[in-house]
Amino acid sequence: MLLSVAGAEPMLSAMAEPEQQTTEVQPQASGVAVIEGVLANLPASPGVYRMLDAKGDALYVGKARSLKKRVSAYTQLNRLPERLRRMVMDTAAMDIVTTHTEAEALLLEANLIKRLKPRFNIVLRDDKSYPWLMLTEEHAYPRITKHRGAQSKGGSYWGPFASAWAVNQTVTAMERVFLLRSCADTVFASRTRPCLLHQIKRCSAPCVGRIEAEDYARLVGQARAFLSGKVASVQRELSTEMEAASQNLEFERAAALRDRIRGLTHVQGSGIMNPASLADADIVAVWQAAGQSCVQVFFVRGGRNNGNRAHFPIHVKTDEPGEILAAFIAQFYDDKPPPPLILANHDLPEAELIADALSLKAGRRVEIAVPQRGEKKAVVDHASTNAREALERKLAESAGTNKLLEAVATLFDLPAAPSRIEIYDNSHIMGQAPYGVMVVAGPEGFARNAYRKYGIRGPVAPGDDFGMMREVLERRFARGQREQAAGAPASDWPDMVLIDGGAGQYSAARGVLDDLGVTDVLLVAIAKGPDRDAGREWFHTADKPPFQLPPRDPVLYYLQRLRDEAHRFAISTHRAGRSKALITSELDEIPGIGAARKRALLNHFGSARGVKQAGLEDLQAAPGISRGTARKIYEFFHSA
């Protein structure tokens, strides 16, 4: 159980939520006075503390074995580095949560840092989910497939994998070696003859009875053993089956088993990329250069490499590699299960505490090691090399982007290179499923976590691109002004706005910004020429007549890329919205009719039209539909 000494937001779902209690602090009180006021009632037990600014945003999240001893250190400003002195002076309030153990405090700290992203912490930027390999369990012929999101009880999961490509390669390998199906259940139920995968020997075709349930279950068992790392036993079993088939003169079956053994041998190939001495482990390596860091994570499961992914955590230049790795590992496993072994390329401060916390989370022992020799050392060195190369690429790209942004500033007479460019575009088909989008770019490239979608509310005439653009800009900048008035950071305000269109779109956008009093944002419209040829774009701004850039100008290429990214995002957003609209029906509008009742009605009557035409007694006869619900449905369709 956790005990709250001061206010705290909901914490780890696996722990009890603490009581919330807010301590009001006078705005004029200095940071040291705030901390001294909290110290009076602070226990000497383990826990987590949060330093908050005047707006209530988290400045820093820390954990301590003894809260009283750790927090009291912040009152001695002369012993603190400049960065922490600034943090203390900005502190207007503190939240304290006590825990039973320091390991619990570490887990809670990692959860809060990842969620709140305090600016004085080392913060992991990890907004992408990881795919898993799933073997379904609720079907007579289980299916092998890729899975993202929450894991249900209806399947077995292996992973994570670093990318969709990595898990797709594994699915393909599993099809070749174990002949498991990967088709959806609806496709499986509707097949009348084998599909192409059976023809190319990647499926045993259980959908049309080409394999008995017992034999398919044996394939599933072999696949489970392989994914669990029992490769040798699977290979022995296949070899035994092949020899038996050969002795029984079943040469075609023996040849098929031979091909499966060859495929299995290819999949389990060893080396640095598939270390034979590792079963389930993650290799985590950090590399630093130019005040930035890259952390590479390699996933090894069952002795196979499941791919790698690069991360670029936010931190100050003075942070040491070990500190960065420690903060990274604690936050990285906040939403995913840690493996039994984590190999790192630097010693971690409080490595035993981190291992204890991860063991607490996993429910089994987790070891963190820094290998010094052998295959494990080679694997870690390989990860370090990948981290160095990824960071060098990022630094090179950032340098090139900075030069382009400086050229953009020169072209449009900006006082400095823009740090935030917002690009807007619309997409619809004859006014159907209209959407506007905002794409954001800056020195770090495209900031995809800042992208926004705007479903057009209207009233806007079908195909009125000017009206759609006006609505999107009004909503974005009116909200931005409200957030700025509430103290939002200025970094969320653009230096430049780029819209796809010509003089008409420019005038519409200019009118919106003028009406809102937005005068500190450069507005540029980019329009293709009469032949709509890339490279002959016209640019519209307020301070100069429309102009073109030379066809091979690097700035032109850069602005085209920004425009094209907005166009891509707008089209994908529109398609997703249109697809969603196609699967909705009038049943969604009936109050009290959820997904389960909707499914029951559609299964019983065949379509929404059948439900609409049904009588009251027919509706009552549908499974799961009570008399009151049937009357509600009937009245919805037949009310005057």
Q: What is the pLDDT of residues 487-524, one digit of tens each?
A: 666 678 999 999 988 888 899 999 999 999 998 999 99
pLDDT tens digits, one per residue of 143-171? 999 988 878 777 889 888 888 888 888 88
426 shares a domain with 331: no
Distance CA 501, CA 538 (A): 9
- Contact (Cβ atoms closer than 8 angstroms) between residue 136 and residue 142: yes
Q: Are residues 492 and 622 in the same domain?
A: no
- Tell me, what's the pLDDT at 488? 66
- Residue 10: band (very low, low, confident or very high) from pLDDT cuts 50, 70, 90: very low
Report d(CA 564, CA 559) in Å as an integer.
9
- Rounded Cα–Cα distance for residues 476 and 454 (Å): 9
Is residue 172 in some structural domain?
Answer: no
Buried b (16+ CB within 10 A) or exposed e, 467-502: bbbbbbbebbbeebeeeeeeebeeeebbbbbbbbbb
Is 110 part of any domain? yes
pLDDT for 319 beyond 70: yes
- Confirm whether 259 is domain-assigned: no
438 and 549 inside one domain = yes
189, β-bridge pairs: none
> Are residues 177 and 264 in contact, defined by beta-carbon separation less than 8 angstroms?
yes
Instruction: Output the pLDDT for position 375.
Output: 87
Tell me which residue of 162, 219, 92 sits closest to 487, measured CA to CA.
92
Contacts of 398 (CB under 8 A, 6+ apart): 443, 444, 445
| Distance between CA atoms of residues 583 and 599, nearest Å | 12
Last residue of a domain, one of 580, 611, 630: 580
Rounded percentage of the chain residues whose pLDDT exceeds 70: 88
Check: CB of residue 66 under 8 Å from CB of residue 46.
yes
Any domain includes 402: no
545/628 same-domain check: no
- The reply to whether 433 and 328 lie within a common domain is no
Is residue 469 domain-shared with residue 506, that is, in the same domain? Answer: yes
Lowest mean pLDDT among 80-89, 173-182, 386-395, 588-597: 588-597
What pLDDT is stored for residue 8 in this prediction? 37
Q: Is residue 297 part of a domain?
A: yes
Res 7 pLDDT > 50: no
Whether the pLDDT of residue 16 is over 50: the answer is: no
Q: Give the Cα-Cα-Cα angle 471, 475, 480 (nearest 5 degrees).
A: 150
576 and 431 in one domain?
Answer: yes
What does the alpha-carbon distance between residue 267 and residue 177 come to, in Å, rounded to a whole number?
9
Residue 306 · residue 170 · CB < 8 Å: yes
Lowest mean pLDDT among 89-103, 522-536, 565-579, 611-625: 522-536
Instruction: Give the CATH number of the domain where residue 628 resides.
Output: 1.10.150.20
- Supply the DSSP symbol for 420: -
**471 and 515, same domain (yes or no):** yes
Question: Of the residues 116, 135, 161, which one is the last residue of a structural domain?
Answer: 116
Mean pLDDT of the chain: 84
Between the two ends of the chain, the Cα-to-Cα distance in Å is 57
Same domain, 382 and 428: no
pLDDT at residue 368, rounded to an integer: 96
Question: For the chain, how many structural domains are there in total?
Answer: 4
Highest mean pLDDT among 135-149, 251-265, 521-535: 135-149
Residues 317, 342 within the same domain: yes
Mean pLDDT of 383-396: 90
Residue 19 lies in a domain: yes
The whole domain housing 335 covers 281-392
Q: What is the pLDDT of residue 579?
A: 66
In a domain, 538, yes or no: yes
The CATH number assigned to the domain holding 94 equals 3.40.1440.10
Q: How far is CA 161 from CA 37, 128, 166, 226, 257, in A?
A: 48, 12, 6, 16, 28
Residue 306 within any structural domain of the chain: yes
How far is the CA of 172 from the CAs of 190, 203, 298, in angstroms?
23, 10, 21
Task: For 481-492, write each residue's pLDDT tens digit.
Answer: 888 777 666 678
User: Looking at 60, 84, 116, which one is the last position of a domain?
Assistant: 116
Same domain, 570 and 591: no
Q: Are 633 and 609 in contact (CB under 8 A)?
A: no
pLDDT of residue 27: 37
Q: For the domain that residue 324 is a member of, what is the CATH number?
A: 3.30.420.340
Which tops the pLDDT comparison, 624 or 309? 309
Residues 568 and 596 in one domain: no
